[in-house]
Amino acid sequence: MTSAVSFSPANVQMLQARGGHGHAAFGSCSAVPRAGPRLRSTVVRVSSEQEAAAAVRAPSGRTIEECEADAVAGRFPAPPPLVRPKAPEGTPEIRPLDMTKRPRRNRKSPTLRAAFQETTISPANFVLPLFIHEGEDDAPIGAMPGCYRLGWRHGLLEEVYKARDVGVNSFVLFPKVPDALKSPTGDEAYNDNGLVPRTIRLLKDKFPDIVIYTDVALDPYSSDGHDGIVREDANHWLVCLASGVIMNDETVYQLCKQAVSQARAGADVVSPSDMMDGRVGALRAALDAEGFHDVSIMSYTAKYASSFYGPFREALDSNPRFGDKKTYQMNPANYREALIETAADEAEGADILLVKPGLPYLDVIRLLRDNSALPIAAYQVSGEYSMIKAGGALGMIDEQKVMMESLMCLRRAGADIILTYFARQAAGVLCGMGPK
C-alpha cells in the first residue's frame, strides 16, 4: 500500500492508496512512493489546534475561550452545595482534639486503603497439598471437609486442572501408602515405581509447567508411623515415651535415597519434613552427586511438635504406633531455637525455609523473615483448616472472610509462599469467582 504524508503547522494531510508500502523521509517530512501505477487515493484532513478548540463547547453551549474569559474576569460557576453529614441526635458538642497526626485519614475510603495496603496476596503465593492413594475413586477425609484422598490417575488430574484454572500452579504430594508396603525402615519411600514417583511423572506429562514439591520423610512408609527408623531401646536417653529411639543418621541415609528417587521422577522441590539433624546437607550432596543440581530443597526448618496435625494424620493413616515426635520436632514453647535450625539449614544449602504450623507461629515466621534472606514458607496445617471449616459450618464465623484474613496474616508475618488446603478456594475468591 502506497502512502504520502505532508505536515504543516495548520493541518496534516494523508494520501493513502491501495497496493504497495510507503517509505517516509522524515528529514523532509514527505513520503516517497514506490514507482508503479497511479492508484486512487483517499484524503484525510485534521484541523489545527485552534480550529479544534473552537469546535469544543461546554455542556452549556459556551466555548472553552468563553469559559476561560469568565474565569479571568472572576466570574466562576457556582459549585455544588457543601453538605456536612449530620451527627446522630445526642452527640456531644466538643472542641476537636488538638493533634496534627490522625492515622484514620489514610483509612477513610476504599481507594486510599487499597493504595496504602502493605501486604498483598495472589494465587502465585499458594501451594496446594494433595493427598493421593492407589485407588481409582476419590475418598473423602472426614476430619477435613472438602478434602479427599485423590485417585492418582483420575481425581488427581481433575483437581490440578481446577487449581490451575484459578492460577494455582504449585502442588505438594502426600501419599496414603497401603499397610502391606510399610516396613520399619520405610524402603518403599525410594521405590522408583512407587506411588509418588508415578504421580510426579503423570503430572509432569500432563502439566509440564507446574511446580511439584514432595515430602521427604519416612512416616507414610513406616510401620511405626514415625519420621525415622525406630530402634527399640527403653533405656536410651533419646527414648520416645520409653518405647524406642529415632535413629538420626540411619534415617538421613534413607531420606537421601528417597529424595533422589523423587528428583529422578521429575520433582522440582524436595521438602524434608523429618527434622533429623544434618539432613539438608546430606540431601544436597546426594542430589548433586546424581546430577540434580537444579532441584531445590525446601526445609521444614521450624516444625513444631504440634497438636494441630491431627486431621492430616487421619488423611494418611500415619499416626505413630507409639509415643510422640517430641525428640525430633521442636517444642512449641521455644522461639530462639528456631534460629539454630535456620542457621544450620542455610549453611547446609537449603533454598527455602518453612515454618509449621502457620497461624499459631506468626512470631516464628517473622523471626525467620528478619534473620534470613531466603524465601520463607508457612504451612497452614490441617488443624487450622478444619477449625475454620467447622466454625463456618456452625455459623460461628464467616468462613470465607476468616480464610482470607488468615492467609493475609501469614503473608504479613513474612511468608512468601503458603502451603494451604484453602489454595483453590482462596484463589477463586482472588480471581473474582466468589463473593469477597
One-letter amino acid for residue 14 of the chain: M
Find all residues with CB under 8 Å of 158, minimum gap 6, and list them: none
Interatomic CA distance for residues 317 and 325, integer angstroms:
16
Interatomic CA distance for residues 338 and 303, integer angstroms:
9
Phi, psi (deg, nearest 5) at residue 148: -140, 155
**Residue from 356, 389, 401, 436 carrying the catalytic annotation:** 356
CB distance 238 to 245 below 8 Å: yes
Query: Does the annotation mark 303 as catalytic?
Result: yes
Torsion-angle region of 427 (φ positive above 0: left; ψ -120 to 50: alpha; else: beta) = alpha
DSSP 104: G
Residue 350's alpha-carbon distances to 13, 185, 198, 376, in angstroms, are 66, 25, 26, 11
Interatomic CA distance for residues 218 and 340, integer angstroms:
24
Phi, psi (deg, nearest 5) at residue 339: -70, -35
Query: Does the annotation mark 204 as catalytic?
Result: no
**Residue from 182, 303, 325, 389 carrying the catalytic annotation:** 303
- 34 by DSSP, 3-state: which? coil
Give the catalytic positions in this structure: 303, 356
